[in-house]
Each structure stands twice: as structure tokens, then as C-alpha cells.
């Protein structure tokens, strides 16, 4: 681990403070809730349990006996003064007592939710005590001393147990130890977390600066590990898309260079020709070069529209048999020396984009027309919920190591630049993207005739899920 520098300490301090404050606030809230809950359970005007009620009565009676002499003295002093002066006399006494002294009327006292025994004693003019549990910090006992010459009652409110401020002072060393341990624990959790986040941020900055191979360490504590893996997936996707884009741009420039050079050469020849009879031939060659450029641009547009972030295709029901026969009928005249044989099958329905499936099948048939010697076969089937299309030829086939690469853009196995066999290298790449848009795949294998078999497979019914392209 790298040591913490002054530059990294400041944001760590803020992060530590926020985490520590949050943990402390949560601990304090939990303590308060536990205190309130305990107080609620312990506080009751009349405990339902017989044993607890008996203990409360014994405690009240014990307090009453302990304060009997003092109460007698106070009652004698109060009776020696008129009723209107007794409140002032209690105020003079109050500074010498550590608990409240009050005078109430007997009706006010009897209006309290007193236990039955306490109420009975007060009703007969006897002294009584009311014991009340106040929770975790102690209990309260109110001692009632009726004054025999009036309806006044002297009330002493005693707190049994430690005072809250005393409890806090007593527990201060433990509280300080708890806060210290809590701080150390939060710091021990925060420092590694901060360093992991620093590394992720540095990796993201490295990627943003152009290093497309920058990757985060995936073996991090969760949830940072999940974040790192998601970042790596994004980085790999960006790298792949960037590399594909660069390769495509290089290939496009190379593809455009040849017809443009031929076109420029033809223009120069036409400008300098002294034979008017040769001009139509040269203009025809120029026209063919323009057609080649136009075809390349059209294929590039189709290839671009089918990128992985494109919206989902509009799918509808189609008949595979009709689709195959339409494509074969339109392409067979281009190669009259070849036999193109569709399988003798009846109607077969599935779902897909008619436009793009037609384009994919056309590209496969035209690819077979380039390499077949005598015969091309087209077969289709439904198998395990998948639509299958096979285009077989009796040509040289595709070597095993090249069967994945043929679906990459601008790939030619023969490295030819001839118009008849070379093509632009986008046909099978478009097929691959069409299948990916249908949540399917395109594969190359060996045909029964010995040549190449190119197979399209996609779900017969649209899969209900996020776009998988």
C-alpha cells in the first residue's frame, strides 16, 4: 500500500469524518431507542405481575417508614402556620432538600392514577407512598402526608437511583473508550476503502487519457469489486469498439483508394485521348468504378446501422420458404453456370426482420456464387425453437482457423482485390450483425458437398428481454 501523502489526507479526512459521524449518530440513536424501550417496559402505573406489585408496595412502605419522622416534623411546623403562609414556608425549606416539596389539595392527589391501597390510605387520612418505576435510570417514590387540620397534602418526590448527570460522569471513561475504539474501527475501514477508490479513479483517468488497456483490479471488497468488474467490462467494450472503428477506417481508406485511383486514371486518359471511338469504353470503366464506390458506401451504411447500440429491429412473421425462393430467383441469373438448388420444403413460419434477413441470405448466396464450382444448395429448418438457414457450396471451403475471422469486417481469405472474387469484405460482417440483432448467430463449417457451409440461426419467436446486440 502506498503511504498517505498530504494531498490525499485531506479528502480522506472528510470521508473519515462523514463515516465516523454517521456511525456515531447511529449508535447514539440506537442507545436512545433502547433507553426509551426499556423505560416503557419498566414504567407502569400498576405492575401487572403480582410479584412486582408486591415488591413495589414493600419499597413504598419502606420509604414511608424512613421518612416518617421527618414528615411528622414538617407537618407539625406547617400546622403551626396559617394555610396561606404554608407555601412560602415550603419555599424557604426547599434549598435544604435535594428533592421537590409541594403542597397539593387532597382532590388533586386523589385525581392521580394511584394504586388502590395508596388511594384507600389517603381516603382515611393516613400517610401513603406511591412507587413508580421510571426506567433504566432509577425509580420515583411520591410520599403523601395529609395535614389533619386542612385538606392540604404535603408531597415529597424522591428519586431512587443515580441522577442522570452522575451516570454520565461515572460512565465517561467507558464512553471515551467506546468513541476511541469506534474511531479506530472506522479509520481501519475507511483507509483501505479510500485507497481502493483512489486506484479506481486513477484507472479511470488513465483510460480517459487514452490508455485503452487500463483495467481495474477486480479482486476488491464488495461492492467495490462489482464496480471494478463493471468498469473493466465498459473499458473492454470501449477498447473493442475503438479498435474496430480504427480498423474499419483503415480498411475503408484502403477500399476507397483503389477505385478512386482507377477513376482518376480513367479521367486522365479520357482527357488526353485522341481516339473518340475509345471514349465510350473508358467512360464505361469510369461508370463501373462509380458503381463500385456506390456499392461500398451502401454496404458501409448497412453495416453502421446494425451496430451494437442500434435500436431493436422491428420483427414480424415471415415465411422462410418464400424468403429463400425470392432470394434465389433474384440472384440465380447472375451466375448462369451454377446450379442454385433450394430444398423442396413447404411453408415454414418464423419471426424476424424481412428486410435484414433477406439481406443476410443474399450476402450468403452471393458469397457462395463467388467460390462455388458447380452447385449451391440452400436449406432451412426449425429446430428446438430456432430458425436455421444453411447455404452450402462445392468450392474450396473455409479453413478451420479462419471460420471466426470471416465474419469480421474487410476480411478476405484470398487477400484478393479482384472485383470478381474479392468483394469489399463487408458481406459476411453484415450477416453477423444481422444475426446479432436477431439474438442469433452466424457460423461457418464444412458442407456435405465438401465446400463451405454458412449457417444462420435465431429464435423462432422474439425473445422478451433487453436488446442483446
- Return the pLDDT at 455: 94
Quickly state the pLDDT bin for 418 (edges 50, 70, 90).
Answer: very low
Lowest pLDDT segment from 19-23, 166-170, 231-235: 166-170
**Arithmetic mean of pLDDT over the chain:** 78
The CATH number of the structural domain formed by 47-161 is 3.30.450
Three-state DSSP class for 146?
strand
User: What residues contact residue 258 under an 8 Å CB cut-off, 6+ apart?
Assistant: 417
Quickly state the pLDDT bin for 424 (edges 50, 70, 90).
Answer: low
Quickly state the pLDDT bin for 1 (edges 50, 70, 90).
Answer: very low
Can you tell me the mean pLDDT for 405-426?
Answer: 62
Quickly state the pLDDT bin for 290 (edges 50, 70, 90).
Answer: confident
Q: Please list the residues that pair with 140 across neighbouring strands.
A: 132, 159
Cβ atoms of 196 and 214 closer than 8 Å = no
Closest Cα partner for 424 from 246, 283, 303, 245?
Answer: 303
Can you tell me the mean pLDDT for 305-313?
Answer: 64
- Return the pLDDT at 466: 41
- Antiparallel, parallel or unpaired: β 339-342 and 375-383: parallel
What is the distance between the alpha carbons of residues 281 and 287, in angstroms, rounded to a whole number? 10
Query: Higher pLDDT residue, 454 or 413?
Result: 454
User: What residues contact residue 270 under an 8 Å CB cut-off, 6+ apart?
Assistant: 279, 282, 283, 286
Quickly state the pLDDT bin for 254 (edges 50, 70, 90).
Answer: low
Query: What letter does residue 27 receive in the DSSP assignment?
Result: H
Closest Cα partner for 171 from 25, 345, 31, 44?
Answer: 31
User: What is the biggest distance separating any 2 CA atoms in the chain, rounded to whole angstroms?
Assistant: 150
Q: Give helix 427-437 / helix 279-305 axis angle, nearest 10°.
A: 30
The domain spans of the chain are 6-41+169-202, 47-161, 237-305, 316-459
Tens of pLDDT, residues 192-237: 888 888 888 888 888 888 888 888 888 877 777 888 888 888 988 8
- Return the pLDDT at 468: 40
Cβ atoms of 418 and 362 closer than 8 Å = no
- Return the pLDDT at 135: 58
Gyration radius from the chain CA atoms: 47
Can you tell me the mean pLDDT for 444-463?
Answer: 87
Quickly state the pLDDT bin for 447 (edges 50, 70, 90).
Answer: very high
Three-state DSSP class for 99?
coil
Cβ atoms of 60 and 141 closer than 8 Å = yes
Three-state DSSP class for 112?
coil
Quickly state the pLDDT bin for 412 (edges 50, 70, 90).
Answer: low
Please indicate whether the domains covering 47-161 and 316-459 agree at the CATH topology level: no
Three-state DSSP class for 310?
coil
- Return the pLDDT at 375: 93
Question: What single string gives the DSSP state of each residue in 302-344?
Answer: HHHHTSTTSPPPP-EEEEHHHHHHHHHHHHGGG-TTSEEEE--
Q: Which three cell numbers stand for residue 36?
A: 426509551
Query: Higher pLDDT residue, 125 or 19?
Result: 125
**Total residues found in the chain within this entry:** 469
Tens of pLDDT, residues 338-357: 999 988 888 888 888 888 89
pTM over 0.85: no
Query: What letter does residue 306 receive in the DSSP assignment?
Result: T
What is the distance between the alpha carbons of residues 102 and 87, in angstroms, rounded to a whole number? 8
Task: For domain 316-459, give its CATH number from 3.30.565.10, 3.40.50.150, 3.40.50.300, 2.60.40.60.
Answer: 3.30.565.10
Distances (CA, A) of 232 to 210, 217, 226, 240: 15, 9, 10, 12
Does residue 298 carry a pLDDT above 80? no
- Return the pLDDT at 457: 93
Query: Higher pLDDT residue, 66 or 458?
Result: 458
- Return the pLDDT at 167: 65
Amino acid at each position: 500500500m502506498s503511504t498517505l501523502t498530504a494531498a490525499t489526507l485531506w479528502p480522506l479526512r472528510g470521508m473519515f469524518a462523514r463515516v465516523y459521524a454517521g456511525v456515531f449518530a447511529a449508535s447514539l440513536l440506537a442507545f436512545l431507542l433502547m433507553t426509551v424501550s426499556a423505560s416503557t417496559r419498566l414504567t407502569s402505573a400498576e405492575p401487572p405481575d403480582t410479584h412486582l406489585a408486591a415488591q413495589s408496595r414493600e419499597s413504598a412502605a419502606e420509604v414511608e417508614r424512613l421518612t416518617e419522622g421527618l414528615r411528622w416534623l414538617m407537618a407539625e411546623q406547617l400546622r403551626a402556620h396559617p394555610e396561606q403562609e404554608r407555601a412560602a414556608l415550603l419555599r424557604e425549606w426547599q434549598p435544604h432538600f435535594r428533592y421537590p416539596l409541594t403542597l397539593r389539595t387532597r382532590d388533586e392527589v386523589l385525581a392521580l392514577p394511584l394504586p388502590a391501597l395508596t388511594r384507600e390510605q389517603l381516603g382515611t387520612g393516613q400517610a401513603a407512598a406511591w412507587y413508580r418505576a421510571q426506567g433504566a435510570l432509577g425509580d420515583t417514590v411520591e410520599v403523601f402526608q395529609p395535614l389533619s387540620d386542612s385538606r392540604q397534602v404535603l408531597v415529597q418526590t424522591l428519586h431512587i437511583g443515580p441522577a442522570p448527570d452522575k451516570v454520565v460522569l461515572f460512565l465517561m471513561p467507558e464512553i471515551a473508550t467506546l468513541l476511541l475504539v469506534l474511531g479506530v474501527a472506522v479509520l481501519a475501514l475507511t483507509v483501505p476503502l479510500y485507497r481502493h477508490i483512489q486506484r479506481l479513479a486513477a484507472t479511470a483517468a488513465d483510460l480517459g487519457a487514452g490508455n485503452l488497456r487500463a483495467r481495474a483490479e477486480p479482486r476488491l471488497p464488495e461492492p467495490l469489486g462489482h464496480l471494478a468488474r463493471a468498469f473493466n467490462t465498459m473499458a473492454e467494450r470501449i477498447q473493442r469498439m475503438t479498435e474496430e472503428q480504427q480498423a474499419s477506417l483503415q480498411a475503408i481508406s484502403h477500399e476507397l483508394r483503389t477505385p478512386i485511383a482507377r477513376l482518376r486514371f480513367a479521367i486522365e486518359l479520357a482527357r488526353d485521348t485522341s481516339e473518340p471511338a475509345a471514349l465510350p469504353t473508358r467512360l464505361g470503366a469510369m461508370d463501373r468504378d462509380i458503381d463500385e464506390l456506390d456499392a461500398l458506401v451502401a454496404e458501409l451504411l448497412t453495416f453502421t446501422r446494425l451496430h451494437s447500440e442500434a435500436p431493436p429491429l422491428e420483427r414480424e412473421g415471415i415465411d422462410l420458404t418464400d424468403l429463400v425462393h425470392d432470394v434465389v430467383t433474384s440472384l440465380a441469373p447472375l451466375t448462369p453456370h451454377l446450379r442454385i438448388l433450394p430444398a423442396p420444403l413447404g411453408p415454414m413460419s418464423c419471426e424476424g426482420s424481412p428486410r435484414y434477413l433477406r439481406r443476410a441470405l443474399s450476402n450468403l448466396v452471393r458469397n457462395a456464387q463467388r467460390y462455388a464450382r458447380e452447385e449451391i444448395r440452400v436449406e432451412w429448418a426449425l429446430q428446438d425453437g430456432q430458425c436455421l438457414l444453411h447455404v452450402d457450396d462445392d468450392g474450396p471451403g473455409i479453413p478451420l482457423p479462419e471460420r471466426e475471422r470471416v465474419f469480421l469486417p474487410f476480411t478476405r481469405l484470398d487477400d484478393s482485390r479482384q472485383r470478381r472474387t474479392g468483394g469489399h469484405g463487408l458481406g459476411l460482417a453484415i450477416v453477423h450483425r444481422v444475426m446479432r440483432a436477431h439474438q442469433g448467430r452466424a457460423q461457418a463449417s464444412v458442407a456435405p458437398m465438401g465446400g463451405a457451409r454458412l449457417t444462420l440461426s435465431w429464435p423462432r419467436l422474439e425473445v422478451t428481454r433487453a436488446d442483446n446486440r
